[in-house]
Amino acid sequence: MGAKTGLLVYADDDVPGLLQQVGAADLEQTSVMMRRLYPSCEIEDTDGSDLYEGVYPPDGTAYAGSWPGVEIICDQRVMIDFPSQLPRHLVAASAGRRLVLHAMHSVVDWLAFAVWEDGRLIRSLSLSPDHGIIENIGEPLAFELPYWAGGRPADVIPWSGEEEEPYALPFHPLELGEDALRALCGFIKEGMPEPGDVDAENIELRGFRVRDPNGSDLAEKEAELRRAMEAMGPPRFFTMGPDGLLVEQGGF
């Protein structure tokens, strides 16, 4: 599994049902939403994406769409360990509506999701094998129940002939993450689609470069990364020797 998401959805009704009815997002309407939800940021148009590919935008970029009854923002900024600490103005914007947060990162097997109804948090869960259960607020939702009941244990794959240590959690966060994404938003990133799933590839999102004048500049971050890469030595290559040890090879 290799899915990553950073997603917020505001909806007047059932999210999957509303997303079944939308297509390309209107630029002007979406720009108005972005200025409302990012009041202190500098925002400019850039290339867009679709809902399937755009749920994990590059740092400093947001993909978004606004339609009657439903609004979407994909942005790494919403990938927070404690969903209950989502900025107040983003929660306040959900007055009279449902707000869904979904975030996961496959590199560290981390998942977080949350649901607010009319600004009231009814469920929040955040967990990873390295940190355990980070946040667990409210009663589990229906799609979670098989996981907590032990019906979806994490698979353990032995390697190198040695016994593998048990997985640190009773289930795999990314598997739950896909079920959460389908139940809350109507589509999945990995796995077999079902006939009733939202066709996320056909939902066109607009692209925006978002810069917080009080935060770190993206160009400065990129320059710092380039300097760090230039300071690294040449790459080293290894292969497995007949005794099972890694042996360094010559460069290419």
pLDDT tens digit sequence for 178-214: 999 999 999 999 988 899 999 999 999 999 999 988 7
pLDDT tens digit sequence for 41-97: 999 999 999 999 999 999 999 999 999 999 999 999 999 999 999 999 999 999 999
User: How many angstroms separate the CA atoms of 53 and 75, rounded?
Assistant: 12
pTM of the model: 0.82
160: pLDDT strictly greater than 50: no
- What's the domain count of the chain? 1
178 φ, ψ (degrees, to nearest 5): -65, -40
Cα 208 versus chain centre, distance: 17
Confidence of residue 218 (pLDDT cuts 50, 70, 90): very low
The whole domain housing 77 covers 4-249
pLDDT top residue among 104 and 228: 104
User: Measuring CA to CA, which residue among 206, 188, 237 is closest to residue 74?
Assistant: 206
pLDDT at residue 237 in the model: 44
User: How many angstroms separate the CA atoms of 190 and 105, rounded?
Assistant: 13
Q: How far is CA 77 from CA 19, 34, 107, in A?
A: 23, 14, 17
User: How many angstroms separate the CA atoms of 33 and 73, rounded?
Assistant: 10
